[in-house]
Amino acid sequence: MGIVGRKRGFLALLLPICFAIMLGRFPTVLGLNYTEYRQVSSLRLERIKTHLDQINKPAVMTIESPDGDIIDCVHKRKQPALDHPLLKNHKIQRHPQEMPKVRMMKEDGARDEKSNEVVKGAWQMWHQNGTRCPRGTVPIRRSTMHDVLRAKSLFDFGKKQRRVSLTRRTDAPDVVSGNGHEHAIAYTGAQEVYGARATINVWDPAIQVVNEFSLSQIWILSGSFDGSDLNSIEAGWQVSPELYGDSRPRLFTYWTTDSYQATGCYNLLCAGFVQTNSRIAIGAAISPISSFLSNQYDITILIWKDPKLGNWWMSFGDNTLVGYWPAELFTHLADHATMVEWGGEVVNTRANGEHTSTQMGSGHFANDGFGKASYFRNLEIVDADNSLSSVEYISTLAENTNCYSIKSSSNNQWGTYFYYGGPGNNPQCP
C-alpha cells in the first residue's frame, strides 16, 4: 500500500474506455463479463465525467489499497453529503448526544457453545499497513468511469432496484414483481423502534453474473411497503461485481425515502450520509473473512436514532462511530421506525432461464450450522428510552427454501440468532 498522486485528467479517464470500445468489450473481473460490446458516446462520457467530478471530492491525501481501491482522504466539510439541498446549512455533528444504554456484552473472541472455533472481528483491507487518513478528513472510495459504465445507466449508478413488499413476498418475487430480489430474513415490527444491532459473519459468496449481488444487512424501515413513501436505512456487507468491479465482501450503507425510486444510494455515491470517522471507508473490502469449518470472522453493526438531535447514527465493530443519516433526509423515519429486518438478499436474474447460482451468505443452507452456514447473532433493538434489549420474538421468511433458507434460535451466549443462506440453483431449486 502506498501514497499515490491524484493527477487524473479527462484523458486519463477516457483512454481505457476508448481501448475497451476498440476491443469490442469491457474487461472481465474474476471471469465475469461486465458487458458485451457497447458503444459509448462522447456525450455520455462527458456526463459521467461531470458526475464523477461531483462525487470524487479533492483529496488531502490519497491511499492505494492492495485490492486496487483508491481511497481519497477528503476534508470532512468537503464530503459529498453536504451537497444535498436539505443539508445546505447543516452543521456536522461530531458525535451523538447520547449512546444507547447497553447491558454487558461478550467481547470479540467469545466462543459459540456448539464449536471450538473462535469468532473474531473483521476489519478493512485498505489500511493494513497502518496508513490512515489525517485527522479532520474522511476516507472515501474513489469512483471510476468503469464503475459507472457497469451500471445500467448514470441514473441507476449506486442505486438498488425497488423491492417488493413483505406482504407479497410469500411468492417468488421475480414472479410477482419481475425484479428478482430474493431474501432469507428475520423481522420484527408493529412497534416503535429507534434502532437495531447485530453481529454478522462475513463470507465471499459466489456471484453468477455481474448485475447480480449478494448481501447481508440490517434494514431500519418505516412507511408503506406497497406505496412510494417507504423510508429505509440499511447497512451490512455485500458482494457486488457491478458496483465495485470485483467479488470481495465490502462494508456498505444505503438509504431511501421513496421506496428506492429516486432518493438515496449506496455508500457515499450521492449526497446524504455524513461520515465522521477517518479510519473506516464505506464501500471498502472487509478482511479477513470466514472460512468453511475454520475461523469465523464477523462484524457488529449498530444503527440508532440520537434522541436529542434525531440523526440516525451507525457504529461498526466495537462501537466505532462511522457517521450518520441526518434527520432532515427522512419523512417517516424522522420520528421512528416501525420494522427492523435482519438477513440476506440476492438478485436472481435467471440469466440462463434457470434460477441463479449466486450464493447467499456462505452458500450453505441454514441447517448446516456453525462453521458452514452464515449467521446473525445477538439481535437487539433500541427502544424509546434509548436502551438496547435482546429481541425475544422474531418472524422468519424465505421465498424459496429450496434455494435459500433461514433457521432461528436463542441461547444465553448468542441471544436471539439465526443461520441463513444457500447455494441458489441446485436440483431442488431449478
Q: How many angstroms from the chain centroid is the CA of residue 16?
A: 28
Predicted pLDDT of residue 246: 96
Measure the CA angle with vertex 164, ends 161 and 170; round to 5°: 140
Predicted pLDDT of residue 190: 65
Which amino acid is present at 416?
T
C-alpha 396/C-alpha 187 separation (Å) is 6
Tell me which residue range forms the domain holding 52. 2-421
pLDDT band of residue 128 (cuts 50, 70, 90) is confident
Predicted pLDDT of residue 120: 78
Does residue 83 lie in a domain region?
A: yes
Give catalytic residue positions.
Answer: 234, 345
In DSSP terms, which residues pair with 73 in a beta bridge? 61, 139
Q: Name the residue with higher pLDDT: 324 or 88.
A: 324
Query: Over the stretch 281-300, which tens digit does the pLDDT of each residue have?
Result: 999 999 999 999 999 999 99
* Residue 265 and residue 81 in contact, taking contact as beta carbons nearer than 8 Å: no
Predicted pLDDT of residue 122: 75
Checking if the pLDDT of 110 tops 80, the result is no
Which amino acid is present at 356?
T
Predicted pLDDT of residue 112: 43
Checking if the pLDDT of 16 tops 70, the result is no
Does residue 258 lie in a domain region?
A: yes
For the chain, give the mean pLDDT: 86
Predicted pLDDT of residue 103: 56
For residue 35, the 8-state DSSP code is -
Out of 15-29, 37-51, 164-178, 226-240, the most confident range is: 226-240
C-alpha 79/C-alpha 322 separation (Å) is 14
| Percent of all residues in the chain with a pLDDT value above 70, rounded to a whole number | 83
Checking if the pLDDT of 265 tops 50, the result is yes
Nearest CA to 206 among 241, 156, 163?
Answer: 241
Half-sphere exposure of 242 (CA within 13 A, CB side): 21
Predicted pLDDT of residue 40: 83
End-to-end CA distance of the chain: 44
C-alpha 177/C-alpha 169 separation (Å) is 10
What's the domain count of the chain?
Answer: 1
Q: Name the residue with higher pLDDT: 128 or 270.
A: 270
Average pLDDT over residues 256-277: 95
Does residue 388 lie in a domain region?
A: yes
| Percent of all residues in the chain with a pLDDT value above 90, rounded to a whole number | 74
Does residue 427 lie in a domain region?
A: no
Predicted pLDDT of residue 130: 81
Average pLDDT over residues 306-331: 95
Nearest CA to 418 among 369, 353, 358, 352?
Answer: 369
Q: Name the residue with higher pLDDT: 15 or 254.
A: 254
Checking if the pLDDT of 53 tops 70, the result is yes
Predicted pLDDT of residue 234: 98
Query: Over the stretch 213-243, which tens digit does the pLDDT of each residue have?
Result: 999 999 999 998 888 899 999 999 999 999 9
Checking if the pLDDT of 210 tops 50, the result is yes
C-alpha 94/C-alpha 410 separation (Å) is 36
Predicted pLDDT of residue 6: 39
- What's the whole-model pTM score? 0.87
Does residue 426 lie in a domain region?
A: no
Query: Over the stretch 180-208, which tens digit does the pLDDT of each residue have?
Result: 899 999 999 768 999 999 999 999 999 99
Predicted pLDDT of residue 163: 57
Average pLDDT over residues 54-71: 95
Residue corresponding to grid cell 465471499: 204
Does residue 251 lie in a domain region?
A: yes
Does residue 428 lie in a domain region?
A: no
